Amino acid sequence: RKEVEQDPGPFNVPEGATVAFNCTYSNSASQSFFWYRQDCRKEPKLLMSVYSSGNEDGRFTAQLNRASQYISLLIRDSKLSDSATYLCVVHGGSYQLTFGKGTKLSVIP
């Protein structure tokens, strides 16, 4: 099993739609979780951290399920500007982050 797995997509959704991404991780000792966003030919940037109780930032909601070892990201009311690749990131216990390969989202007018 790969350390961090994501559906590569692409997810093509119309403006205003709700879209959800899932990510699974293999290291049950993982302590911290993040979603990064990467625009085409740009660097990754932190979108949000993922807390055990779940957290929300505007239209974005992140959830963590430790028992099943998966993380989710929900985007409501999709905007054209949300088009990007979303990277699931897991902190494995050392000072290292393991990145998933990303899920590509295209929001269509």
Does the footprint of other proteins cover residue 71 (CB under 8 A)?
A: no
Does the footprint of other proteins cover residue 32 (CB under 8 A)?
A: yes
Per CB under 8 A, the segment of 17-25, 51-59, 69-77, 94-102 that binds other proteins is 94-102
Q: Which residues of 77-96 are buried (b: 16+ CB within 10 A; e: fewer)?
A: ebeeebbbbbbbbbbbeeee
Q: Which of 20, 42, 57, 65 binds other proteins (CB under 8 A)?
A: 42
Does the footprint of other proteins cover residue 100 (CB under 8 A)?
A: yes
Burial of 50 (0-12, 13-18, 19+ CB in 10 A): buried
* β-bridge mates for residue 25, sequence order: 4
* Interaction site with other proteins (CB under 8 A): 31-32, 42-46, 87, 91, 94-102
